[in-house]
Structure 1
Amino acid sequence: MPRREPRPFETLLAEGAAQPTEGWDFSWFQGRATEQRPSWGYAVSLADRLAGAKAALDIQTGGGEVLHFALGRAEKAPALTAATEGWPPNAAKATALLRPHGTVVVAVPENAPLPFADGAFDLVSSRHPVTPHWTEIARVLEPGGTYFAQHVGPNSVFELVEYFLGPQPDASRSTRHPDHERAGAEVAGLEVVDLRAERLRIEFHDIAAVVHFLRKVVWMVPDFTVEAYQDRLRALHERIEAEGPFVAHRTRHLFEARKPHHR
């Protein structure tokens, strides 16, 4: 990426702080940050799964962007499609985006039971759920149904987390490990049929991208505000200007599980 002309720190801070955070559209980062994509192409693969489903549920859909893409690409849409989302601004955005597909968006807190009957869906999907609630996923799947998802893995973007928070305990680093999630799915009675993990490079080319990222992905640095971390942000801005992009790595895993016909 060509070097850009230096821009004032205060200007970049203001740009990163001004961007709205609802939804999972990351197009604003173009030219400011780059990320390596997983090899499996989750959204395209989800479109293929939707084409073969009768009733589909997307959990923690965010602003509905990924489901919208997949439904638009699918050769045939399921007869019934529903989605859940817990954050009201995201739920509103997802409703507007998904309504033309005939998809109903239900406002459901992350930790609440799913408001659907047992065995209601033959496909349950999710992209980057905060926590997969395996017993609820297994309950709403019909026998033979599939859970198909892309999860955030352990240590994701931890270089940035530890820049602001310092070294993190091993317990923080081990959360979201695919082996732990496999065990949780199996305890709930699901059979894991595919589990693939990748570590992917991400680069932040200016401090505005860092600010917007941390405001959008709030669990990375939970107490983040521009005011609280102004000194660290200035130091990172100067580092990026002097040395080039801040490099971190995100982890993702593709997760596919099936509910057996006989438990």
Structure 2
Amino acid sequence: MSSHRSFEELVREAVEAPVEGWDFSWFEGRATEERPPWGYARSMARRLARASAALDVQTGGGEVLAFAPTLPPVIVATEGWPPNVAKATALLHPRGAVVVASAEDAPLPFADAAFDLVTSRHPVRTYWDEIARVLRPGGTYFSQQVGPASAFEVVEYFLGPQPEEVRGGRDPRRACAEAEAAGLYVADLREARLRMEFHDIGAVVHFLRKVIWMVPDFTVERYEDRLRSLHERIVSEGPFVAHSTRFLIETRKPGT
């Protein structure tokens, strides 16, 4: 088992693994995360098949968008991280999708009422005014988002207890209020708390290198003592268990 390999070997392997895109196949056999019950990629694909013009915001490496068997006649994706822009371009251009390099906190580089569907999986932040602006009347925003205190067992193992305002960030009720303030109405909201298991320290290192906002100052060198202690704990006690939180939100712009 990987947990019986040396700390140095597991960490070296994790540090050398590429972290571009949102392909999590590297974790196979090393970490697991329960999936939300609503099947976001399949639900997104159904909506894309009915759309005439769609935008996928913060597409990552384009993996979720590429899952859809049918794309609308006009399909655009934005992404802010250059390695992901390149990966998404290579994956999506053969499908007829245009990938636009756009910073996550910049206004969306599109005209008003350009799309009848906007999607986003795990956006860093949702700029509701911009979503409402680029949606056509009657258009839909469909998104799976990270919920409050997600994987905080990992975060607090390295950073210590977090203040309540940090733990309570990404509240789905706040998202609903912000959507409504932007002139959208909430058609659906669902929440889930999902079990995660890390079976070796390499999986923890790779996770923190890939999901960089969890422990923003993470390096192996900075946290070596904590990593070694956690490695010994996994070897002696079994997987390190955490819980992710997710919510699904679907909003619509009034009109036809």
Give TM-score, length-normalised by structure 1.
0.96
Percent of pairs with identical residues = 69
CA distance in 1, matches of 2:248, 2:2: 35
Would the aligned equivalents of 2:2 and 2:30 in 1 still touch at CA under 8 Å? no
Show CA shifts across 1:92-115 (max 9, x none): 100000001100000000000001
1:129 aligns to what SS in structure 2? coil
Amino acid in the other structure paired with 1:183: A
Closer, same or farther in 2 for the Cα pair 1:89/1:5, shift >3 Å?
A: closer
Q: How does 1:94-243 map to 2 (within 5 A)?
A: 94-243=88-237
CA distance in 1, matches of 2:86, 2:169: 30
Report the CA distance between 1:52 and its aligned residue: 0.4
Would the aligned equivalents of 2:102 and 2:108 in 1 still touch at CA under 8 Å? yes
Show CA shifts across 1:190-222 (max 9, x none): 000000000000000000000000000000000
2:42 corresponds to? 44
CA distance in 1, matches of 2:132, 2:2: 50
Report the CA distance between 1:158 and its aligned residue: 0.2
Superposition misfits of 4+ residues, deviation over 4 angstroms: none
Closer, same or farther in 2 for the Cα pair 1:227/1:4, shift >3 Å?
A: closer
Closer, same or farther in 2 for the Cα pair 1:209/1:4, shift >3 Å?
A: closer
CA distance in 2, matches of 1:86, 1:185: 23
Closer, same or farther in 2 for the Cα pair 1:258/1:222, shift >3 Å?
A: same
Report the CA distance between 1:4 and its aligned residue: 5.2
Closer, same or farther in 2 for the Cα pair 1:5/1:253, shift >3 Å?
A: closer
CA distance in 1, matches of 2:2, 2:125: 39
1:56 corresponds to? 54
2:119 aligns to what SS in structure 1? strand
Give TM-score, length-normalised by structure 2.
0.99
1:81 aligns to what SS in structure 2? strand
CA distance in 1, matches of 2:5, 2:210: 23
Show CA shifts across 1:44-66 (max 9, x none): 11110001000000000000000
CA distance in 2, matches of 1:5, 1:37: 24
Report the CA distance between 1:21 and its aligned residue: 1.1
CA distance in 2, matches of 1:165, 1:115: 37
- For residue 26 of structure 1, the aligned residue among 8, 24, 27 is 24
1:93 corresponds to? 87
Unaligned segments of structure 2, at least 5 residues: none
Aligned residues: 256
Would the aligned equivalents of 2:142 and 2:249 in 1 still touch at CA under 8 Å? yes
Report whether the alignment pairs 1:82 with 2:80. Answer: no
> Which moves more between the two structures, 253-262 or 234-243?
253-262
CA distance in 2, matches of 1:210, 1:4: 13
CA distance in 2, matches of 1:107, 1:195: 30
